[in-house]
Amino acid sequence: MKLFFIVFLNGLTLASLYFITACGFTLIFGLMRTVNMAHGVLLLLGAYIGYEVVEMTGFWVLGIIAGGLSCALVGAFLQAFILGRYQGDELRQTLITIAISIILADFLLWAWGGLTYQISLPEMLQGGIRLPLLNVGYSVVRLTLIGMAIVVGVLLWLLIAKTKLGIIIRAGVDDREMLQALGFEIKKIFIIVFAMGAALAGMAGVIFGSALSISPGTDIQFLLSSLVVVIVGGMGSVGGAALGALLIGLAEQYGLAYAPTYGVVFTFLIMVTVLAFRPQGILGRAEQ
């Protein structure tokens, strides 16, 4: 029984991490309909840069900012010069981002090698504390993740639902031409959105690299988990992504604890089941 609760907590903290890593993806994917297959590699890039900055300066927060900023730049570049002109051509964008992720991943391998990296946490987040009721040690940083996820989620939701930028973005997804005909410079707006999504990815990468670790191949895992989370939850819905993350996080941890052999299979079967009955995801809006 104790294990059951611990696993629940594990699922919750993992879900927070998944949510944080999926946020940039929801933003780009949910709002611009760009299937950004380079999301994982952007996370990885942010994490490596964050690592360097933390090693250099010793400030963790600075690492997060640096990871975010560098990815924002890369993202803006990609959208402005490569992806932008194919807006609306989903399949081609998918392919282009796959190509970009192959190139970038190889670049990262070149620059940082194939070793595993962990980013040092600030003193106060290191190590574990004893949980009062369950009487087990628990990692501080994992507990903090829950808080971070909530903050990120609320900010993102406000951005999408409440700001004018949010309205513009949603309109742009529905009918780009019409939005142009209303005087909006859609290209610029999409560059900003992509940069924001990439920045979120970069920052999430630093957090991920601190809580767990990063190495080549992590990018694919990021990408898959983000895809699953966003799709199960419903594209463009922040609440949905949170719900999706929770479902997948819990499934994964319970799977690992109680049925390790087929645990991963279950994760994907959950996704299949959700989508078979709600193709638009749990909280997504139907296409027609």
Partner 1 sequence: MMPDQLLKIDKLNVYHGSSHTLQDIDINISNRPKAILGRNGMGKTTLCSALMGLTKAASGSVFLDQTDISSYSPESRAKTGIGYVPQGRRIFRSLTVIEHLKLVEKKDSRWSIEKIFSIFPRLAERRKNMGDRLSGGEQQMLAISRALMLDPKIMIMDEPTEGLAPTIVDDVVELLHSLAEHEIGLLLVEQNISVALEVASDILIMLNGRIVDQVTAEELKSNTQMQQKYLGINFA
Partner 2 sequence: MSRTLLLIVVILIILPAFISDFWLNQILTRSIILGIAALSLTFLTTYLGVVSFAQITLAGVAGYTIAYFSPNTTGLGIELPWLFAVALALLFSTLAGAFVGAIAKKSVGIYSIMITLAISMAFFYFTRQNYSIFNGWTGFSGITAPVAFGVSLEDSLVFYYATLLSATAAGYLVVKFTSSPLGLAVQGVKDAARRVRAIGIPTTPVIIAAYAFSGFIAGMSGVLNVWQQERISSFSVGLGPTIDLLIIAVIGGMRHPLGAFIGAITYVLIDTFVIDLFSRDRFNMIIGLVLLFIVMAAPQGILGSFLSAQKRIRKYDNNAIKRKIKNDCEI
Partner 3 sequence: LSQPILAADKIKIGVISILEGAFASLGQDGVRGAELAFKEAGGKVAGMDVEIIVMSSDASPDSAVNAARKLIDHDNVDIIIGPLSGSEGIALRDLSKGNKGVTFVNGSSAAQDATFREGSDNFFRFGGDGAQWMAGVGTYAFEELGYKKVAVVAEDYSFPYTQVLGFMSEYCAAGGRVPKKFWTPIGTKDYSSVVYSIPDDVDAIFVALGGADAVNFLTQYDQAGGDKPIIGGTITIDQSILDSKGPFKKLLIGAPAGTPTVSDYEGKEWKEFTASYLSNFPEGMTSPTIFAHHYYMAGKAVLLGLEQVDGDLSNQHKALRASLNNLEFVTPTGGTMRLDENRNGIIDNFVTEVYEREDGSLGNRVLKLVSNVNQTMGQDPTAFRAIGAVSRENPSCP
**Chain residues that interact with partner 3, rule: CB under 8 A:** 3, 6-7, 10, 13-14, 17, 51, 106, 109, 113-121, 126-128, 130, 136-142, 212-218, 221, 252-254, 256-257, 260-261, 263-264
Is 230 a residue that touches partner 1 (CB under 8 A)?
no
C-alpha to C-alpha distance for 199 and 188, rounded to whole angstroms:
16
Q: How many alpha carbons lie under 13 Å from residue 154 in its C-beta half-sphere? A: 5
Residue with tokens 């998918």: 94
Whether the Cβ atoms of residue 235 and residue 30 lie closer than 8 Å to each other: yes
Stretch that binds partner 2, among 89-97, 170-178, 190-198, 243-251 (CB under 8 A): 89-97
- Binder of residue 181, out of partner 3, partner 1, partner 2, none (CB less than 5 to 8 A by kind): partner 1
91 in contact with partner 2 (CB under 8 A): yes
Is 264 one of the binding residues for partner 2 (CB under 8 A)?
Answer: yes
The Cα–Cα gap between 213 and 6 comes to 22
Q: Tell which one of 158, 182, 259, 269 touches partner 1 (CB under 8 A).
A: 182
d(CA 41, CA 201): 9
User: Applying CB under 8 A, which of residues 171, 192, 220, 275 lies at the interface with partner 1?
Assistant: 171
> Position of tokens 């998944």?
18
Neighbour count for residue 208 (Cβ, 10 Å): 25
CA distances from 214 to 18, 26, 169, 252 (A): 14, 22, 32, 19
The footprint of partner 2 (CB under 8 A) covers 29, 33, 35, 82, 89-92, 94-96, 98-103, 105-107, 110, 220, 224, 227-228, 231, 235, 261-262, 264-265, 268-269, 271-272, 275-276, 279-280, 287-288
